[in-house]
Amino acid sequence: MKIDEYQAKEIFTQYNIPTPQEILCKTPQEVKQASRKIGKKVVVKAQVKVGGRGKAGGVKLANNPQEAEEVGKQILGMEIKGLKVQKVLVSEAVEIKSESYVGFTNDRSSKKIVCMASPAGGVDIEEVAKETPDKIYKILVDPLKGGLHDFQARNLAFKLYDDVKSVRQTVSILKALYKAYIGTDASLVEINPLVENGEGKLIALDAKFNFDDNALYRHPEIAKMREVLPAEKVEREAKEKGLSYIKLDGFIGCMVNGAGLAMAAMDMIKLFGGNPANFLDIGGSSNPKKVINAMKILLNDDNVQVVMINIFGGITRCDDVANGLMEAFDALKINLPVVIRLTGTNEKEGLEILKQNKELILANSMQDAAKKAIELANK
């Protein structure tokens, strides 16, 4: 789960990570007042959950309250990658002596937490990682070995700064950031850039936080921050119904049990020249309701020209699945061709049941199903 910059900054403040003076605003008038209150040059920043807002014109400097109001008018309401800007953060303009990057994320291969730092801050860190990987310093942090030790933070800080004053500030920011990371069950936290201002004070100019969905039950205050983006609405609703759905831009709707098998089916469609309209994993149950809900999602997607169902009955028996499918088809009006491949435990019994519905197109393998679906879509 992602949150907005202003929300991330609120968490930073809780953990005593220094941020600029900032006020969240929803109207140009509020922007003007905020600018006046801050009493110096401000930066007005669009609050959207996608990257690249700067390039899109979503971040602008204003020299006085009048300019701020003007800039507020420009940014509020604009669209960035399809998202309408409804909030801006009015932030004191900070004199920047140097910019660096610090962050934490989980590291799969070491099974630990990795702390990253780079003196090349203020730019896309993934670019830095590709272009000049030697400018990114990493240490592994083991929460079962006392977490981030002072000496680790210090060693990393010495990679960013030479003077003890900045090193000390970096150590305390890294320690606080780690505490925030652990304390919120984050999966990513970044300060980019971490800037040194005119007085030599380090400040988190931007803030990014992603959280582990599986741990949100421990953090109701963060779960409350969830805002479903319009593009994610269907995926979110599917999830609430126990389905895992992702919309793509193809025309063959897929319904599969199991994520790996679903990806295999999609790959096969592609292999044979088709294009999958979605990823849709209905999981391990033969509950007809799930099949109905899944089918509804596919039918609501105007791009879908044909539906391909691929089920491998494991513990779930094929006859149960077939009954579920029949029930689902009875409950819905389906005006698209449906190709079904059903195999595994009690396959025969399952297929017997499916044969009752003459409109269903049966396939005897995943390949067969993919080929038939593509053929029907091309008609």
Partner 1 sequence: MSILINNETKLIVQGITGRDGGFHASRMKQYGTNVVGGVSPGKGGQKVDGIPVFNSMQKAVAETGGNTSIIFVPARFAADAIYEAADSGVDVIVTVTEGIPVQDMIKATQFAAENDVNLIGPNSPGLISPGQAKVGILPGKIFEQGKVGVMSRSGTLTYEVVDHITKAGLGESTCIGIGGDPIIGMTFIDYLKLFEADPQTEAIVMIGEIGGDAEEQAAKFIKENMTKSVVGFIVGKTAPPGKRMGHAGAIISSGSGTAAEKIAALKKAGIPVANQPNEIPQIIESKI
d(CA 242, CA 245): 10
Torsion angle, CA of 24/19/59/191, rounded to 10 degrees? -130
Decide: is 244 part of the binding site for partner 1 (CB under 8 A): yes
Decide: is 322 part of the binding site for partner 1 (CB under 8 A): no
d(CA 136, CA 358): 61
- Rounded (to 5) percent helix, strand, coil in the chain: 40, 25, 35
Decide: is 307 part of the binding site for partner 1 (CB under 8 A): no
| Sequence-ordered list of residues with C-beta below 8 angstroms from that of 221, at least 6 positions apart, any chain | none
Decide: is 262 part of the binding site for partner 1 (CB under 8 A): yes
Decide: is 146 part of the binding site for a second copy (CB under 8 A): yes
Decide: is 315 part of the binding site for a second copy (CB under 8 A): no
Decide: is 192 part of the binding site for partner 1 (CB under 8 A): no
CB nearer to a second copy: pick between 144 and 315? 144
Decide: is 333 part of the binding site for a second copy (CB under 8 A): no
CB nearer to partner 1: pick between 91 and 316? 316
Among 126, 130, 133, 144, binds a second copy (CB under 8 A): 144
- How many other C-beta atoms are found inside a 10 Å radius of the C-beta of residue 132? 11
Decide: is 348 part of the binding site for partner 1 (CB under 8 A): no
Decide: is 54 part of the binding site for partner 1 (CB under 8 A): no
DSSP E strand stretches across 93-175: 98-107, 112-118, 137-141
What six digits make up the tokens of 311? 């089920």
d(CA 137, CA 152): 11
Question: 107 pairs with which residues across the strands?
Answer: 112
Window 89-128: contact mask with partner 1 (x via CB under 8 A): -----------------x-xx-xxx------------x--
Q: Which residue out of 6, 101, 161, 181 is catalytically annotated?
A: 101
Decide: is 144 part of the binding site for partner 1 (CB under 8 A): yes
CB nearer to partner 1: pick between 111 and 224? 111
- How many other C-beta atoms are found inside a 10 Å radius of the C-beta of residue 163? 10
Q: Phi-psi bin for 364: left (phi > 0), alpha (psi -120 to 50), beta?
A: alpha
Decide: is 140 part of the binding site for partner 1 (CB under 8 A): no
Q: Which residue out of 190, 196, 235, 347 is catalytically annotated?
A: 190
CB nearer to a second copy: pick between 145 and 224? 145
**Region binding partner 1 by CB under 8 A among candidate stretches 10-18, 25-33, 196-204, 363-371:** 363-371
d(CA 300, CA 191): 40
Decide: is 248 part of the binding site for partner 1 (CB under 8 A): yes
Sheet holding 22-25, edge to edge: 22-25, 88-92, 42-46, 59-62
The secondary structure of residue 123, as a DSSP letter, is S
Q: Which of 225, 252, 250, 246 is nearest to 234 (CA)?
A: 246
| Residue 137 designated active-site | no
Decide: is 301 part of the binding site for partner 1 (CB under 8 A): no
Q: Which of 65, 1, 368 is nearest to 218 (CA)?
A: 1
CB nearer to partner 1: pick between 44 and 113? 113
Backbone φ and ψ for 51, nearest 5 degrees, come out as -80, 170
Shortest separation between residue 140's beta carbon and a second copy, angstroms: 16
Q: Which residues bind partner 1 (CB under 8 A)?
A: 106, 108-109, 111-113, 126, 129, 142-146, 149-152, 154-155, 158, 164, 167, 182, 185, 187, 212, 214-215, 217-218, 244, 246, 248, 256-264, 266-271, 276, 279, 281, 284, 312-315, 343-345, 365-367
Residues of the shown chain interacting with a second copy in the complex, contacts defined by CB under 8 A = 144-146
